[in-house]
C-alpha cells in the first residue's frame, strides 16, 4: 500500500475516499492524524482551494497528497454557499444547514430550490507537482426546508433527490458513495491514478 495524505480532517471524506482508492493500493491518512495544520483557503474556486490544500499537505508531510474541496451550490443564490459551504453558518453541520435555510426563506426565493453538490479532487505527487491530477463531480437535486434522514453529513438532510424520492441523508452508504459528487469525482480520479 502507498501512503497518501488526505488534506482534510473530515472523517466522512476519509471514509468515502478510502473505499474508492484502497483497491488501487492507496492508503489514506488524514492530515489530522499526522498533526498537520489546515492552510487558509484563499482561492476563489473549488480547484484553487483543493490545490492549495494538496500542495501544503504534501509539503508538510513529504508524501503525495489528495485534497477535496467540495460544497453545495444553490442556483437561486448564484452558487452560494459554494466554496464557503463548510463555514456558511457557525461552521457546524447543523449551524450551516440552518443558516442556508434561513437565507432561502428570508429571501423569499420560490421553491423548489434547485442545487447541486460539487466536488473537486486533486492529487499531487509532490508539493511542486507541475501536473496535478484533477477530477470533478456534480450531483443534482434540490433543497427542502425540513431535514430528513440520519445518515451522511453536511447538508445531506436537506439535499433532496427527486429521482430517488429521498434526501442524501436517507441513502445507505454504498448507494451514496456510488451516486454522490464525491463518488463521481473519486471514480474519475481512480481512472486517472490507474494510468500513472
Q: The C-alpha cell of 72 is what?
A: 453545495
Residue 47 to residues 19, 44, 122, Cα–Cα distance (Å): 23, 8, 8
Half-sphere exposure of 127 (CA within 13 A, CB side): 7
DSSP conformational letter for 109: P
Instruction: Say which of 40, 68, 69, 129 is annotated catalytic.
Output: 69
**Is 75 known to be catalytic?**
no
DSSP state of 67: E
Q: 3-class DSSP state for residue 132?
A: coil
C-alpha grid cell, residue 178? 456510488
Which residues are identified as catalytic? 69
Amino acid at each position: 500500500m502507498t501512503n497518501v495524505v488526505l488534506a482534510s480532517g473530515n472523517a466522512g471524506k476519509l471514509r468515502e475516499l478510502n473505499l474508492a482508492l484502497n483497491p488501487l493500493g492507496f492508503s489514506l491518512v488524514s492530515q489530522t492524524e499526522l498533526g498537520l495544520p489546515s492552510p487558509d483557503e484563499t482561492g476563489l474556486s473549488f480547484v484553487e482551494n483543493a490545490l492549495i490544500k494538496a500542495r501544503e499537505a504534501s509539503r508538510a508531510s513529504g508524501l503525495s497528497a489528495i485534497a477535496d474541496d467540495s460544497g453545495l451550490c444553490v442556483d437561486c443564490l448564484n452558487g452560494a454557499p459554494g466554496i464557503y459551504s463548510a463555514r456558511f453558518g457557525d461552521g457546524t453541520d447543523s449551524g450551516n444547514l440552518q443558516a442556508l435555510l434561513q437565507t432561502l426563506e428570508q429571501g423569499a426565493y420560490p421553491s423548489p430550490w434547485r442545487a447541486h453538490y460539487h466536488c473537486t479532487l486533486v492529487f499531487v505527487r509532490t508539493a511542486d507537482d507541475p501536473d496535478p491530477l484533477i477530477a470533478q463531480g456534480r450531483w443534482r437535486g434540490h433543497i427542502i426546508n425540513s431535514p430528513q434522514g440520519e445518515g451522511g453529513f453536511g447538508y445531506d438532510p436537506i439535499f433532496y433527490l427527486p429521482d430517488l424520492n429521498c434526501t442524501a441523508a436517507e441513502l445507505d452508504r454504498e448507494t451514496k458513495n456510488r451516486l454522490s459528487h464525491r463518488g463521481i469525482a473519486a471514480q474519475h480520479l481512480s481512472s486517472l491514478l490507474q494510468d500513472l
